[in-house]
Structure 1
Amino acid sequence: MRCKIVLFLFASLTMISNINSQTKEDPLKLGVIGLTHTHVHWILGREDIGDVEIVGIVEPDQELAKRYSKKYGYSMDLVFNSMEEFLAETKPEAVAAFGTIYDHLEIVETFAPEGVHVMVEKPLAVNLDHAEKMQKLAEEHNIHLLTNYETTWYPTNHKAREIIKKGKIGELKKVIVRDGHRGPKKLGINKEFLDWLLDPKENGAGALMDFGCYGANLMTWLKHGQTPKAVTAFTQQLQKENNPKVDDEAIIILDYGDSNALIQASWNWPIGRKDMEIYGLDGVVYADNRNDLRLRIAEGYDGFNEKNFQLKEREYPFNDPFSLFRAVIRNEVNLEKYDLSSLENNMIVMRILGAALESSRTGKTVYLD
């Protein structure tokens, strides 16, 4: 037995070593499109592990580009004023979008015909019309079009799904997803980001789009691609002085017929949060944050047995959006249908968000099937 364990560990270490060697020999040639979305710090400040090479940055705001150049040490020779200039000078395999959500369509229109794969920050698009055009282009030109969410990389969300699959809490009946913070302006977000985040055209809405997408994405994944039968939502402006053009509070209710979900997307939480409660007939899972999870199994009327988990980060390449993007493009990983990053998942997300916006405007439930 001991010999088998040693051989297994040796094989595992050899496999990891081979993967690391392959990624360094064959890095993904990636373009960064836009610097105004502060999630761009994710790629600019990422440890250089050799699997991704930034071959160019598109950012017309030279002052912003220079500021980040000083912070992260990239050469201004990498910076281009337009996507057309960038394409004329470089040969990217893929691009990652870090501008406005409205820009996502133009980015796909520009790069899909060139066979360049695209990853955008959540949500996929500002509305379903844009999303459908993006989907058509991706399919026509056979490119990967992924959407990146912070919560995709949370070990707790994957552990929660594993618990559900094993039937440990019984049949899934209700989910509560809460996401948000105290508001962009209160957080002191830089002007370049704030200017479009609070613009209903560039962002699609306010907190409803910014944080409602997380819950819609997770629910589509947990429900294996099932579209809710009905969506009911309302929005508020609880900080009109800080968010004059967009909602800062959104409540979205999803009716699946056999279960339901409550999505609370807000720029009014006093403390930032991204957490989820999943209720079955026999127990509940609390994904409290990235690494802390609680499992409660019901006992009697209001008693329970609780188990706590402190989870480690996920293994490469499932711990990082850029590593996974490369692995998918290299055919080292095949995303399962309705994966959190997948196009089919995020098309359903856009249907949910569109229905939520309509419901909030009309005061009526929107039926999707």
Structure 2
Amino acid sequence: MGLILLFSITSLISAHDNNMELKEIGKAQKPLRIGVVGLVHTHVHWILGREKLGDIEIVGIVEPNRELAQRYADQHGYSMDIVFDSLDEMVKAVQPEAVTAFNSIYDHLDTVKYCAPLGMHVMVEKPLAVSWEHAQEMIALAKKHEIHLLTNYETSWYGSNYKAYDLVHTEGKIGNIRRMVFHTGHFGPIEIGCNPEFLEWLTDPVLNGGGALTDFGCYGANLATWFMKGQEPESVTCITQQLKPNLYPKVDDDATIVLDYPENQVIIQASWNWPHHVKDMEIYGTTGYVICKNASAMEIMTGRKQESSALEAEPLPQGFHDPFALLQKVVQENHQLPAYDVSSLENNKRVMQILEAAKRSAETHKTIIWKDMFPEAAMRN
């Protein structure tokens, strides 16, 4: 899948003892002991229903809503004996090595506040935090106590995105990037049948930090930061709408974010108003384009040809194919994330800055100049 796909078999071999046989690559000496914090984010089904690969073990679950915990126990088969009412109870009882946060975005900060001083690593669901203020405190705690603080996105595990990165940055197939366009979202969390426990915080401006802007705007910000290798935009412009105020009276349900860079532009269209589920990416360069339609289907045009060709991206290698496998590698095997990796803290710091600037732009109806909102950027220039 190319040199830039750092999850390749070659890079896996080099990251381990040279005498280790290929069959041992990605196999941990013991499973990573994971505590699941919260069940109110329905992405939690990802880890609860995950195939047992021997790399992780769920040793505890924090969920005070016993009815919800029992419902998921019936679905996934875990014992209610490992369910605790609080993070403190769970940690004292089972002592996990790391936790995965499936609570509200607002509660990410409290999770890190508790875990970081104990040296306990944390992976949160996207985005990193509910606000830039929360994010700064979380980042400071992670650095002070030297813990890993990762952020998980569904798109981090799309083979198509890594193939596109390789085509753009390693093979130079489309020239320099001039424009990136992201379409992310679906036809609405109520409409797709999200459960009440999820909707209670997802549609709350305090607990989620916004609506579609927060929920789906973060995907494009994350991937653009990766492709732009951490470069800061010069300005951020955002327009939000309430197209369905009867369903979502407290938050936006549609957002368009424009990031202007010195030599290119990023457009992020995040919405609860699409007629379909969508997480795609279009990258236009000086001599061609790459389009990622989903996790595997792609389209490419090179050399200013008038015709494009279809590609099918391979899935990511076992052991680096999902967030929990990566968490095990980082915690137990000291796997080093590349600069501005999609899961990394430095990338998701930038994501939170972009989202904060987008909110400010939408509220004021003005374009936000990056160096004015984040003075430390001006000091670096």
- Give the TM-score, by structure 1 length: 0.94
State the AA in 2 paired with 1:359.
Answer: S
CA RMSD after TM alignment = 1.4
Cα deviation, residue 241, structure 1 = 1.1
Cα deviation, residue 311, structure 1 = 1.7
Q: Which residue matches 2:322? A: 320
Q: Which residue matches 2:45? A: 41
Q: Which runs of 5+ in 1 are unaligned?
A: 1-7
Q: Which residue matches 1:367? A: 369
**Among candidates 225, 240, 244, match of residue 235 of structure 1:** 240
Contact 1:298 1:305 in 2 (8 A): no
Q: Which residue matches 1:95? A: 99
State the AA in 2 paired with 1:137.
Answer: L
Mapped to 2, the partners of 1:277 and 1:96 lie a distance apart of 31
The secondary structure found in structure 2 opposite 1:200 is coil
Contact 2:160 2:314 in 1 (8 A): no
Q: Which runs of 5+ in 2 are unaligned?
A: 1-9, 372-381
Cα deviation, residue 84, structure 1 = 1.0
Which string of whole-angstrom CA distances, capped at 9 and with x for unpartnered residues, describes residues 121-155 of structure 1? 00000000100000000001000000000000001
Q: Is the aligned partner of 1:283 residue 2:285? A: no
Cα deviation, residue 317, structure 1 = 2.2
Runs of 4 or more consecutive aligned structure 1 residues displaced over 2 Å after TM superposition:
none
Mapped to 2, the partners of 1:229 and 1:40 lie a distance apart of 36
Mapped to 1, the partners of 2:306 and 2:292 lie a distance apart of 17
The secondary structure found in structure 2 opposite 1:285 is strand
**Count of aligned pairs:** 354
Which string of whole-angstrom CA distances, capped at 9 and with x for unpartnered residues, describes residues 40-89 of structure 1? 00000000011000010000000000000111110100000001111221
Identity %: 51
The secondary structure found in structure 1 opposite 2:183 is strand
State the AA in 2 paired with 1:194.
Answer: L
Q: Is the aligned partner of 1:221 residue 2:226? A: yes
Cα deviation, residue 318, structure 1 = 2.0
Mapped to 1, the partners of 2:337 and 2:268 lie a distance apart of 25
Q: Is the aligned partner of 1:116 residue 2:124? A: no
Cα deviation, residue 332, structure 1 = 4.6
Q: Which residue matches 2:176? A: 171
**Among candidates 54, 57, 64, match of residue 60 of structure 1:** 64
Matched ranges for 1:134-153 at <5 A? 134-153=138-157
Cα deviation, residue 298, structure 1 = 4.7
State the AA in 1 paired with 2:328.
Answer: R
State the AA in 2 paired with 1:360.
Answer: A
Q: Which residue matches 1:17? A: 23
Q: Which residue matches 2:333? A: 331
Matched ranges for 1:242-253 at <5 A? 242-253=247-258
Worse-superposed segment, 30-39 or 325-334? 325-334
Contact 2:183 2:281 in 1 (8 A): yes
Mapped to 1, the partners of 2:303 and 2:266 lie a distance apart of 20
- Give the TM-score, by structure 2 length: 0.91
Mapped to 2, the partners of 1:48 and 1:39 lie a distance apart of 17
